[in-house]
Structure 1
């Protein structure tokens, strides 16, 4: 048995407005009657919904109260009054009275014929699935044919809108219009006019389940909008918006809409996989381009001629950046989420870059959830552009991206160096407390070469070479270490060391003799000098 709440929740009945207030709407609903008779309660079964224009109450709405009482005694489910013909509006006193006696009072707009409304509600109540199933399968067959014909999203949405008799908008996961029905071509307001009225909270709700929203049209009048999530993956859905769903004609049912959405989901999934197959070719090319072992061979290959399709151009400026998402702690173990996030970042960059950075080539890193940007012209503001890109994506989605850049080079053959530098920049950012959105490469120096060696091994090496001078705590040993470092920095020249430390030459000689006694070796031996320099650098606190 159907209940009133189920009927009011259907998109086709979204223009019916419940005026009265009730703790629940679980009243059974078995039939519908149209009447203008004040004593109809004597002739109706229980669990019926009464539809009326309230013609006989147009001059005195107070008389509706006894009518409401009689319907309540007859266990009527609800009273629907059509406004705009005899009653312009339903009196607030009548609404309050219906709330008090617990009889749902429903406002029916003037655009809704009572006969058509009765037919649709009765059809739903009688569970006449045959007609609805037939319509649903016809829609599925029609859209499956379109799918086999490889139509694009624009054509699909146009056909869908014709069937539903309602304007439709298809949005990307970052809420940009992908396609819309023909309604918006001749309309004063574009599809974006309606999208701008939806907040981030609206989309967060819609990502979970189907929702009904109320927006304003170009005449500043309220309209209903039904939103449906299109789940191509489990985490970042597309969005389908249907304006004025009450215009959807019978017998198109929720099931029919679900069938169309299923085909649309498959079409978007298919298009995504086709695009990914082309990206795999680009990724293979990128692997060869960045392979340092093929660097010498690459000079004999005309990469630019062979790979024009990958947006590489002849230039004297090549700089590589790695784009990566900052995974939240709760998603660090969710491999599928990270894959979906990486793919979405790539798709978003693919859409945004051609307009703002036309000379940038975009690739995906193989077996990683990261993307590669290759800058092929020098721009003074490209760092600011990357910063703005990251901010725009974060406004649309719960995704944070960062850019790790290498140095720029004049030749394409040197791009592997820029990649190594970008990778080093990325690795350094993973250990930073507050890494910047756009990170530039900074040479690590000698100590950077030993970053991946364990701390214990580094300390052992320093103590073997410097003995008591490795990590001194006594002031005398600290002064000896300081003098030794300056002495080696000036290539073992006593005069320069003395001048730098404002000491007498004999003091420097004495201290170096003390160092040699502690170390048990000659400081000026080339190999010893090198090892001491390395140990001093690594043991700096």
Structure 2
């Protein structure tokens, strides 16, 4: 159905024409025709256009300018030049012929008696008839797809329908390498030899590429494929492949493919909407479990059954917090679907029963397991390290909080434990930390308080007094105790002179009557200093 330059030479108006250059471009498609009046071809030239000319507009161009003109014509996709010699230009310059051959643009010479109007009428009449046939064919195809939509077809039905229309085998790929559906599964296994993007046509809305491949079950011959990406929501990528085993894809075939891609896009949107609805319902169920939003044991059993958990199962809650700095835009939680999927792949290595939930900058996993806290921590750490070893996530910053082992009734407490860990890590500006609740040690005793002001009663009065009047002394004391009462390392961390550090400690001894030989007193001071830091960063 495509009009080519070779077809055009069969027009009655071109019977006496002569092809003098560009024989390799005879298969170029013709989409229009016009009279060339100026050399600025980039301003008026179009893909598939035939140019009628006497070459008078190019007469005064230098050889460099002429070469540039034909390069631009080739880049634009000019289909052919039809030249008529007259009293203004009586001879086609030899370098014009050379440039047409080099750029594979057919150069056709016509007789002086041949009228431009006759050629233009032949071309436009053919194109108009061709477009009418294509439009009629498009309407027929569109109506067929509309009728099929009313029957709520499966993806396989849509692909089978397209295969009948083309006819060529087709495949539908999910995530580039996995054959999701196909009318011939063997064709999904192939090796690409070369790939080329196709120029966009007037009647195509999607991007196409053609590639040469070798199929594993047909290793002795190369075959052609037409590929088009199917737009969709979510992180999954979909691609339709036309295996051109029987014939090259025609214009009529493209009409069918365009309708198919649009139809598949709508089906994928419906599937995505349903998935999001189911996910929203599932997230609500998980929240009911975490916040104990059930009134009876029957309601609890319904929740557990929906999540495929049992009443006697034991759990750990793991929360990943991305609200730390230095994450690039492409690695934000907007990509949470992909992150959950990849994390889940590594969690699955160790545990089969778990659910996940995304909340703003956090991803929550409720993992059913029979491991001790120590063994669980080792496994989840290994899973996290495997995840961060992926190139895409290698610089991804997040903290991880791990609860104690819990039964189903204490999940709200386990959830609070994991959140408290992340709260402390955020307040202390920690990054890339994996911390379990038991790692907090004595701090666990103070995290259950409902009022942060209650923590001050665990801070020795003399520490509170020093904090009020000389807070830098408490900071020095904290660093001094952390470094086993070493003046030199204390001074290095605080960027002060060792004598200054020693002076401050002596002053503390005088003000607070601290006995650094008493381990019980030092324990109370250590705990007090840490609680004080926690209180100050929380308020």
Q: TM-score, normalised by structure 1?
A: 0.55
The CA RMSD measured in Å over matched residues stands at 5.7
Q: Is the 8 A contact 2:304 2:310 kept in 1?
A: no
Secondary structure of 2:184 counterpart: helix
Secondary structure of 2:180 counterpart: strand
Give me the whole-angstrom Cα distance separating, in 1, the residues matched to 2:320 and 2:475: 40
Question: What residue ranges of structure 2 are gaps of 5+ in the alignment?
Answer: 28-52, 56-77, 82-96, 107-122, 198-205, 477-499
Corresponding pairs, count = 401
The answer to whether residue 156 in structure 2 is matched with residue 154 in structure 1 is: yes
Describe how 1:409-448 pairs up with structure 2 within 5 A. Answer: 409-426=405-422, 435=432, 442-443=439-440, 446=443
Q: Which residue number in structure 1 is paired with residue 116 of structure 2?
A: none
Q: Which residue number in structure 2 is paired with residue 165 of structure 1?
A: 167
The partner residue of 1:212 within 210, 226, 229 is 210
Q: Which residue number in structure 2 is paired with residue 284 of structure 1?
A: 284
Deviations for 1:471-501, whole angstroms, at most 9, x for unmatched residues?
5645244146479666697445xxxx8xx9x
Q: Which residue number in structure 2 is paired with residue 322 of structure 1?
A: 319
Secondary structure of 1:252 counterpart: helix
* Pair 432,234 (structure 1): closer, same or farther in 2 beyond 3 Å: same
* Pair 410,215 (structure 1): closer, same or farther in 2 beyond 3 Å: same
Deviation, structure 1 residue 418: 3.1
Q: Is the 8 A contact 1:230 1:239 kept in 2?
A: yes
Deviations for 1:152-182, whole angstroms, at most 9, x for unmatched residues?
333333333333333333333x435252322
Q: Which residue number in structure 1 is paired with residue 336 of structure 2?
A: 342
* Pair 143,469 (structure 1): closer, same or farther in 2 beyond 3 Å: same
* Pair 159,123 (structure 1): closer, same or farther in 2 beyond 3 Å: farther
Deviation, structure 1 residue 318: 0.5
Describe how 1:29-428 pairs up with structure 2 within 5 A. Answer: 32=7, 42=17, 50=26, 101-102=101-102, 104=104, 128-172=130-174, 174-177=175-178, 179-184=180-185, 187=186, 191-194=188-191, 209-218=207-216, 219=219, 221-233=221-233, 237-244=237-244, 247=247, 250=250, 252-291=252-291, 300=297, 303-322=300-319, 328-330=327-329, 339=334, 341-346=335-340, 352=345, 356=349, 359-365=352-358, 368=360, 370-377=362-369, 378=371, 381-389=379-387, 391=389, 394=392, 404-426=400-422
Give me the whole-angstrom Cα distance separating, in 2, the residues matched to 1:151 and 1:369: 39
Deviation, structure 1 residue 533: 7.9
Q: Is the 8 A contact 1:231 1:238 kept in 2?
A: yes
Q: Is the 8 A contact 1:158 1:180 kept in 2?
A: no
Secondary structure of 2:224 counterpart: strand
Give me the whole-angstrom Cα distance separating, in 2, the residues matched to 1:290 and 1:242: 48
Give me the whole-angstrom Cα distance separating, in 2, the residues matched to 1:400 and 1:412: 32
Deviation, structure 1 residue 265: 0.9
Secondary structure of 1:212 counterpart: strand
* Pair 361,470 (structure 1): closer, same or farther in 2 beyond 3 Å: closer
* Pair 253,428 (structure 1): closer, same or farther in 2 beyond 3 Å: farther
Q: Which residue number in structure 2 is paired with residue 23 of structure 1?
A: none
Q: Is the 8 A contact 2:170 2:182 kept in 1?
A: yes
The partner residue of 2:505 within 458, 465, 478 is 478
Secondary structure of 2:403 counterpart: strand
Give me the whole-angstrom Cα distance separating, in 2, the residues matched to 1:275 and 1:179: 17
Q: Is the 8 A contact 1:161 1:168 kept in 2?
A: yes
Q: TM-score, normalised by structure 2?
A: 0.55
Secondary structure of 1:359 counterpart: coil
Secondary structure of 1:311 counterpart: coil
Q: Is the 8 A contact 1:324 1:342 kept in 2?
A: no
Q: Is the 8 A contact 1:343 1:369 kept in 2?
A: no
Question: What residue ranges of structure 1 are gaps of 5+ in the alignment?
Answer: 1-11, 14-27, 52-72, 80-96, 107-120, 203-207, 501-525
Deviation, structure 1 residue 361: 2.5
Give me the whole-angstrom Cα distance separating, in 2, the residues matched to 1:123 and 1:384: 71
Q: State the structure with bigger RCO (CA 8 A, min sep 6), 1 or 2.
A: 1
Deviation, structure 1 residue 151: 3.4
Q: Is the 8 A contact 1:34 1:50 kept in 2?
A: no
Give me the whole-angstrom Cα distance separating, in 2, the residues matched to 1:215 and 1:331: 33
Q: Is the 8 A contact 1:279 1:363 kept in 2?
A: no
Deviations for 1:341-382, whole angstroms, at most 9, x for unmatched residues?
2244456677x589746623323335x365432211246645
* Pair 129,287 (structure 1): closer, same or farther in 2 beyond 3 Å: same
Secondary structure of 2:257 counterpart: helix
Deviation, structure 1 residue 271: 0.7
Q: Is the 8 A contact 1:360 1:376 kept in 2?
A: yes
* Pair 235,282 (structure 1): closer, same or farther in 2 beyond 3 Å: closer
Give me the whole-angstrom Cα distance separating, in 2, the residues matched to 1:269 and 1:220: 40
